[in-house]
Amino acid sequence: MTSLTTTDLLSQTRTDAVHDLLSIGFGPASLAIAVAIYDILEQRALTGSTSFTPKVRFLERQSAFGWHAGMLLPGTKMQISFIKDLATMRNPKSRFTFLNYLKEHNRLAQFANLDTFLPFRVEFEDYLKWSACHFSDLVEYSQDVTSVKPLKLDGSQKFNCLEVTSKDVSTGATSVQHARNIVIAIGGRPSIPSVFPRGHERIIHSSRYNLHISSVLPNKDKAYSIAVIGAGQSAAEVFNDLQSRYPNSKNLLLMRDTALRPSDDSPFVNEVFNPEVVDEFYSTAPDVRSAQLKGNKATNYSVVRLGLLEQIYEDQYQQRMQNPDPDTWHHRILPSREVVEVTDLPQNKRLNLTVKNFSSQACKAKETYSVDAVILATGYVRDVHNEMLKECQAINGSRDGAWISERDYKVKLDRDFVEDDVQIYLQGCNEQTHGLSDTLLSILATRGGEIVDSVFGGAILEADTRDLVNASSSDMSGPLGPLWKLSPNAKEDASSKRKRAASSAAESAKA
Ligand X SMILES: Cc1cc2nc3c(=O)[nH]c(=O)nc-3n(C[C@H](O)[C@H](O)[C@H](O)COP(=O)(O)OP(=O)(O)OC[C@H]3O[C@@H](n4cnc5c(N)ncnc54)[C@H](O)[C@@H]3O)c2cc1C
Interaction site with ligand X (CB under 6 A) = 24-30, 59-62, 67-68, 71, 78-80, 143-145, 185-187, 234, 427-428, 439-442
| In the complex, least distance from residue 32 CB atom to ligand X, rounded to whole angstroms | 8
Residue 87 has a CB neighbour count (10 Å cut-off) of 26
CA distances from 410 to 138, 223, 289, 296, 331 (A): 22, 52, 20, 26, 47
Beta bridge partners of 353: 342, 369
Supply the DSSP symbol for 5: P
To ligand X, the closest distance from the beta carbon of 121 in angstroms equals 7
CA distance 200 to 198: 6
Q: Which is nearer to ligand X, 164 or 418 (CB)?
A: 164
Closest to ligand X by CB, 186 or 483: 186
By C-beta, is 177 or 234 nearer to ligand X? 234
CA 415 to chain centroid, in Å, comes to: 30
Distance CA 237, CA 245 (A): 12
What is the distance in angstroms between the CA of the first residue and the CA of the last residue of the chain? 37
DSSP letter, residue 159 = B
Q: Shortest gap between Cβ of 156 and ligand X (angstroms)?
A: 27
The set of residues, in sequence order, having a beta carbon less than 8 Å from that of 350 and lying 6+ positions away, is 202, 225, 370, 371, 372
Of 103 and 189, CB closest to ligand X: 189
- CB of 384 vs ligand X, minimal distance in Å: 6
Q: Which residue lies nearer to ligand X by CB, 73 or 334?
A: 73
For ligand X, the closer CB: 186 or 486: 186
Distance (Å, whole) CA 135 – CA 152: 30
Helices (H), 64-117: 98-104, 108-114
> How many residues are there in the chain?
511
Q: Work out how close the CB of 372 gets to ligand X at its nearest, in angstroms, rounded to a whole number.
A: 23
* Closest approach of ligand X to the CB of residue 119, in Å: 9
Q: How far is the CB of 8 from ligand X (least distance, A)?
A: 26
Residue number with CB closer to ligand X (69 or 404):
69
Which secondary-structure segment (H or E) carries 19? strand 18-24
Q: Which is nearer to ligand X, 307 or 326 (CB)?
A: 307
Q: Which is nearer to ligand X, 23 or 49 (CB)?
A: 23
Exposure string of 490-511, with b = 16+ CB inside 10 Å and e = fewer, is bbeebbeebeebbeebeeeeee
Determine which helix (DSSP H) or strand (DSSP E) holds 123, and give its type and residue range.
Answer: helix 121-133
Q: From the CA atom positions of the chain, what is the Rg in Å?
A: 26
Contact between 454 and 441 (Cβ < 8 Å): no
The residue (of 39 and 60) whose beta carbon lies closer to ligand X is: 60
Nearer to ligand X by Cβ, of 436 and 505: the residue is 436
- Residue 273 or 369 having the CB closest to ligand X: 273
CB of 288 vs ligand X, minimal distance in Å? 24
Contact at 8 Å (CB) between 60 and 26? yes
285: left (phi over 0), alpha (psi -120 to 50) or beta: beta
Least distance to ligand X, CB of residue 52, Å: 25
- Gap between the Cα atoms of 266 and 270, Å rounded: 6
Judged by beta carbon, residue 168 or residue 464, the one nearer ligand X is 168
Instruction: Return the exposure string of 181-197: e unless at least 16 CB atoms fall within 10 Å of the residue's CB, then b.
Output: bbbbbbbeebebeeebe
- The nearest distance, CB 80 to ligand X, in angstroms, is 4
CB of 64 to ligand X, least distance (A): 10
- DSSP 8-state secondary structure symbol assigned to residue 436: G
Task: Name which of 65, 66, 192, 197 is nearest 139 in CA terms.
Answer: 65
In whole angstroms, what is the distance from residue 235 CA to residue 263 CA?
A: 13
Report d(CA 156, CA 415) in Å as an integer: 14
The least distance separating ligand X from the CB of residue 482, rounded to whole angstroms, comes to: 29
Which of 56, 60, 71 shows the shortest CA–CA distance to 15? 56
User: How far apart are alpha carbons 164 and 147 in whole angstroms?
Assistant: 6
* Cβ proximity of 299 and 436 under 8 Å: yes
**Cβ 440 to ligand X shortest distance, Å:** 3
